[in-house]
Structure 1
Amino acid sequence: MAFQPTATTHEREARSRGEAFAVATVVRAERPTSCLPGDKAVIRSDGRLQGWIGGSCAQPTVISEALASLEDGEPRLVLLTPDGVAVPRTGMTVHQMSCFSGGVVEVFIEPFLPAPQLIICGVSPAAAAIASIGHVVGFEVVVVDALATPEEFPTASVVVDRIDPSAYPASRERYGIVATHGLWDEEALRQVLALKTSYVGLVASVRRFEATIADLAMAGVDPEHLARVACRPGIEIGARTFQEVALGIVADLVSRRRGVHRQGERVPVHVLTEVPVLHEDPICGMLVDPQVTPHRLEHDGHVWYYCAARCLRTHAKQLGVILAEKFGQPSLARA
């Protein structure tokens, strides 16, 4: 089996930073191909591919499928063939790979999503119960309060007195619950709203919630940010104790991150950073990343991108464009 230390190194790096990424592994390759079974690549949430799973004919499709796997959290088996035709198999997606060399490549793509963060503001009994239950169901718990200690919140991964936005990358899946019971609701909401979160809830009565939101609005907080805050988070389970309230809140968060909200709302599994816009090669139909491919042609106000020099030459000939050869790579001749 081929060993790819580069992909392994990038995988360790992504894990250590708590980033979302996908690992693409070549499970079958029929010659002629430039990859071997066991070759691997790491695809980051911004579309960067690090490692090797084949050349420019395979990479755009693998990147596109990897980003889709990060979006829905599901693994994929991708088959690339010269004609895009294959015997259907459950769970397999077939794509055309119109490279001059031909060959067949089968790639397994597995997403790795870091544990979602649950940021809890406060040291109230409700906050303690939310932290405990949230940890049990797989959240990485962060407790924020000047009075909080690791001893009081043993299930928390991080205990801090305030939120430093630079320590919380936007690509991370994150939820915020403010359970400060009126002690510092406004400041807690300010700090949580400064982060990229899928959901923010304030544990408070309707009257206190409305007063808190009104105070923040008068203080100049963006109305769009305030509209993200939910009053009395959680699903209705007839809760009476703090532990039962916490159970309803965490159950609500789980339903949201699994994409099954009680009101039919669909939420993404993972918030992606900016992803590349892929362009279709006008000759072979492959999806091409314009930031990666060196093969491009500008003519008559249009710009095209190609998977390989062969497609560029073919299209240029069709358009009647004369190319100049330079160091073995075609470039548009300038008059």
Structure 2
Amino acid sequence: MTDDTDAQTQTDTSGRSRDAAASPETVDRVAREYTEAGRPFARVTVVRREAPVSAHVGDRAVVTPDGELLGWIGGVACAQSVAIREAKAALETGEPRLVGIAPDPDTVDRPGLEAFPMRCHSQGTLELFVEPVTTPARLVVVGDSPIGRALVRLASELSFAVTAVVPSGTEVAGADEVATATDDVDALAEIVRGATWVVAASMGATDDVTVAAALASGVPYVGLVASRRRADELCERVADRTGRAADEVRAAVTSPAGLDIGAKTPEEVGVSVLAELVAVRRAGEVTDAGTLDAATTGEWSETGTATTDASADETATDSDGAGEPNGTVATERAVVTDPVCGMDVVVGEAAATATHDGETYHFCGVGCREAFVDDPARFLERVES
């Protein structure tokens, strides 16, 4: 039987109920779809709970890299924001983690568990297992050229799942998968769909088809082994063929592909391309002969458009921190305090914000923001202390 404290916590502070959340079957289906598409996500499962919380052991959710939570791990926004933050961190490190959320973190703190305070009024205790689900970065190399073959062979030594797209009957050393080359854009788009990187290395034979197919499939990185002059001409042809603006096509294509290391031989060019891919993969941006930044290496989307968050680039306005979020000088992934519930909130990832006297405050949820807006003075004392 469910006790009264459980019954009254079946909705969160925004009124969202368990019935309104995605069902376990839907969560499992989405997880399968993400896995099949090669999209990373984190699976969050409730492994322990103490009333009053609305979650039960076995409740689960998936969290995307951009912080969307689908499923049910309890309705309280404070707990959900901790789960989302830790899921995103797990995706960055690739390591699973056990998370405890309790009114007094010391009561659940133990080796192997990261404990956080339960700041919301409903209290209760949750322990969550956060499991990052990722697939090896998939590299598709299109073209049976010396550079293409060298790139496939060298990439096989790294943690890439390599697909070589070559003429029928061709064997390629180091390839995990070999697909048949085609000049049909739609057919090639199906081959490259879900890839992390696509490199056109046919030396002009099918490069325009490769670029058009990669753009149609929303591949985040499209590299072209070509001179800048040939790349410009190719992008003009692809623009005419696809109805896109030439500038849009050129901006989406990295060419010459690879870091400028003075490469001459096919193997050296392959090393330069892989060096660029590793740099982008590990750091998110790299500057070379052509510039790669968040606009070309953003999170996967159905349209292939990268997404950026301008709010994450907040910088100090003066020496005493005036105008900074919650009274602190903002830095990359700066953590500030929700002035209402006291919870840690990552700048740029807050569920809600409000400005008071020229200063921006970040909140774990809309409920905390509304409480602050109604009576800022009541909560500013907490921030100052």
Q: With structure 1 as the length reference, what TM-score do the two structures score?
A: 0.64
Alignment of 1:7-26 (within 5 A): 14-26=34-46
Deviation at 1:107, TM superposition (A): 2.6
1:275-313 CA distance string (max 9 Å, x none): 9xxxxxx99799999xxxxxxxxxxxxxx9779xxxxxx
Separation in 1, partners of 2:76, 2:367: 9
CA contact (8 A) 2:102 2:126 kept: yes
Separation in 1, partners of 2:213, 2:33: 28
Separation in 2, partners of 1:31, 1:158: 54
Letter of the aligned partner of 1:157 in structure 2? E
Separation in 2, partners of 1:163, 1:216: 11
Partner of 2:153: 132
Letter of the aligned partner of 2:250 in structure 1? L
1:255 corresponds to which of 262, 272, 279: 279
Q: 2:105 aligned with 1:98, yes or no?
A: no
Unmatched 5+ stretches in structure 2: 1-23, 308-338, 352-364, 375-385
CA RMSD across the alignment: 4.6
1:65 corresponds to which of 73, 85, 109: 85
Deviation at 1:78, TM superposition (A): 4.2
1:239 corresponds to which of 249, 258, 263: 263
Q: When you count helix as a share of all residues, which structure comes out higher?
A: 2
1:251-274 CA distance string (max 9 Å, x none): 110111111644296555843679
Number of residue pairs matched by the alignment: 286
Separation in 2, partners of 1:167, 1:203: 19
Separation in 1, partners of 2:90, 2:222: 22
CA gap of 1:48–1:30, structure 2 versus 1, over 3 A, is closer
Q: 2:196 aligned with 1:174, yes or no?
A: yes
SS of the residue 2:203 aligns to: coil
CA gap of 1:66–1:12, structure 2 versus 1, over 3 A, is farther
CA gap of 1:66–1:242, structure 2 versus 1, over 3 A, is same
Alignment of 1:1-335 (within 5 A): 14-26=34-46, 29-34=49-54, 40-44=60-64, 47-50=68-71, 53-56=73-76, 60-61=80-81, 64-65=84-85, 68-69=88-89, 72-73=92-93, 75=95, 78-82=99-103, 92=114, 94=116, 96-100=118-122, 102-145=123-166, 147-149=167-169, 151-152=171-172, 155-160=175-180, 161=182, 162=184, 164=186, 165=189, 172=194, 174-217=196-239, 220-222=243-245, 223-259=247-283, 261-263=285-287, 267=294, 270-271=299-300
Percentage of identical aligned residues: 29
1:93-121 CA distance string (max 9 Å, x none): 73544253x22223342322222221222
SS of the residue 1:204 aligns to: coil
Separation in 2, partners of 1:149, 1:237: 34
1:147-183 CA distance string (max 9 Å, x none): 14463355133514355446766xx561121111122
Partner of 1:279: none
Letter of the aligned partner of 2:92 in structure 1? D
CA gap of 1:258–1:251, structure 2 versus 1, over 3 A, is same
Letter of the aligned partner of 1:106 in structure 2? E
Q: Which moved more, 1:235-244 or 1:179-188?
A: 235-244
Deviation at 1:197, TM superposition (A): 2.5
Separation in 2, partners of 1:239, 1:114: 30
